[in-house]
Structure 1
Amino acid sequence: MMNNLFSIFDPSTNIFNLPLNWMSTFIGLMFIPFSFWLIPNRHFFLWKFIITKLHNEFKILLNFEKNKGSTLIFISLFSFILFNNFLGLFPYIFTSTSHLTISLTLSLSLWLTFMLFGWLNNSKHMFIHMIPQGTPSILMPFMVLIETISNIIRPGTLAIRLTANMIAGHLLLTLLSSTGNSMSNYLLLFLIIVQILLLILESAVAVIQSYVITILSTLYSSETN
């Protein structure tokens, strides 16, 4: 039962015995709007509105005047996670963001980059950040230890947060749909309504998790400047 239940996150997709599961990650490129010289459509205007709002929010945290172009990294991260979260809601499409292979790779690479940049360029600021202002002298060693541990587990918490939220929704949808065969017509109609509501909720979770991961990465980056 458990093997069949979790097999929905690792479907067997292959052509000529070539595994193509992770190719679904690149399907999101098809959703990127066309270039500016083509006729703009509603999709283009919506995506431009979202990017502009994210840019205005991120540049406040990242000291944009000093580091111009830095918001592009986090807007790209938001787009990548958002597309893959939404694609996972379609049947028979591999959900890459429900695997730690993707989420941990993204969070760990970003975190290592922030840490290397901070310790190489702003080492004094990084040392000061480990001890909150007003900490008594006797508690300073403990605060350094606590701050170090909390800093080390950051990429893991980012990855697990995204993976766990994606897995939880998919498992709930799968468990409810598996009970449909033994239900009467009235209960089956109720189950369909519940499934539709859960899909709407999962769509909201896909957007929220993309935003949460991106804004937390932005905050971690701002601490190194």
Structure 2
Amino acid sequence: MEYNHEHKAERIGWIRAVVLGANDGIVSTASLVVGIAASGVAADHLFLVGLAALVAGAMSMAAGEYVSVSSQTDIERAELALEQQHLDENWTAEVHELATIYRKRGLDSELALTVAKKLMEVDPLGSHARDELGITELAQGNPLQAALFSALSFSAGAALPLITVLLFSVENLIPTIIVISLGSLVLLGGVSAHVGGASKTKAALRVLIWGALAMLVSMGIGQLFEVTV
């Protein structure tokens, strides 16, 4: 009978981008709108403030993810090029270096050397990339994909407080945005934990606590600098 099971690690890249983007979109936009609303600014300005936050935040997230993942990719490529140079210059030393890694993982010396030789016959650079440098295809990211996921997820998260501004009166706006945003954060944390196979309760509480703290601080600052427009 064939044994097959699924691992969650292959989802880490896009889960991280989506969760980070949506979480940031909800927290930053809701906090900004709550802070501005608490300062006494007229209600008709709040949507424009939130919309500006959505656009700026989405572009910032996209740029940040693209630069971050591109930098990681550049470093990995440079490391692989250097490792290929080592292989070309001193094959025997690289075989023993790989064998040493396997000995440290529990293989006896003879078996470790045999495994190292066999693996390097098939894929020398890939063997060293994986076992010496820790670089795998799973860990390598796509800059454009990360940027797109981050921008779209941020926009989706930021849209929640914006829709709330349009649908609710200014008298009930602050508590409504807080409740809807925190509820969305809890749902987001639970769903992301489920997809990744982690604890739903821990993930939900984590985003709930930090989201609530961000909004409370923003509201306090808004009330401190109360203005009339």
- TM-score strictly above 0.5: no
TM class, shorter-length: 0.3 to 0.5
TM-score (norm 1): 0.33
Greater relative contact order: 1 or 2 (C-alpha under 8 angstroms, separation 6 or more)? Answer: 2
TM-score (norm 2): 0.32
Query: Which has the higher Rg, Structure 1 or Structure 2?
Result: 2
- Higher share in helix: 2
